[in-house]
Structure 1
């Protein structure tokens, strides 16, 4: 297996989604591709295959597990483990970026303000989510994750 090629490919596949979120947030194609289950399903399948290869088919370093920091570190001592971790980051960062892309218009937060938060999500993961929540707080929007429009539900008292 050419691990570097796989790494390059998964990065190349996720970039178009981010470009759509940033430069064409209201296009139908963005809704069909980025806001659908396509990316989570595709990356989830790759993640599952690589994780299973690590767990059951010897595609991991010795001592891999979830019980200690040493066991987690061992996961990243094999290229397959790096792919597992990187895929995990990519799919969840995109999920957060897509959520920001849907949430901002519902809250009348201009795209020019939300876009840097999405970029931060792409590059630094949780930093982008934190930045977006700070934007919402500063605009008096709060930090509730309940979707309040378009059929979303607030909890009932």
Structure 2
């Protein structure tokens, strides 16, 4: 399996979704296209790779003799990421979830009348360091006073 090609294609696809999210007009249909064409498609790619990998139907291209992949111990998770396939699949996981959070931030910010220009730096941080972008957005909601009693709720 060409893990480098899959990695590059997933990265490019996610970046396209982020670019559209940041600069396209604030329309519900645009967000729906980014959700289904971006996050949902990346999630399908993730499922289409992780299931056959965990079932042993495809190789992750990693070194022979390493500990088996195991989500319950650090050494098992490290073993999973110690291969081109494991790192690629893990990265697709990040891409899908971070884009989903970015869509939620944009939709929520639009609903609270936060300008797209204020959203762009937060979306950038969400792309580059997911939880930090989410934290910045929640703090922006708190600071701007848009429903301060509910600013930290995901509504």
Pair in the same fold by TM > 0.5? yes
Aligned length: 145
Q: Which has the higher contact order (CA 8 A, sep 6+)?
A: 2
Matching residue of 2:127: 122
2:43 maps to what in 1?
44
Write out aligned runs for 1:7-156 (5 A): 7-26=7-26, 30-34=30-34, 36-57=35-56, 59-60=59-60, 61=62, 62-141=67-146, 142-146=151-155
Distance 1:51 1:11 in 2: 17
The root-mean-square deviation of aligned C-alpha atoms, in Å, is 1.7
Unaligned runs of 5+ in 1: 147-157
Structure 2: tracts of 5 or more residues without a match:
none
1:54/1:17 CA distance change after superposition, 3 Å: same
Question: Take 2:24 and 2:39, find their aligned partners in 1: how far apart are those partners?
Answer: 20
- How far did residue 19 of structure 1 move? 0.9
- Greater fraction of residues in helix: 2
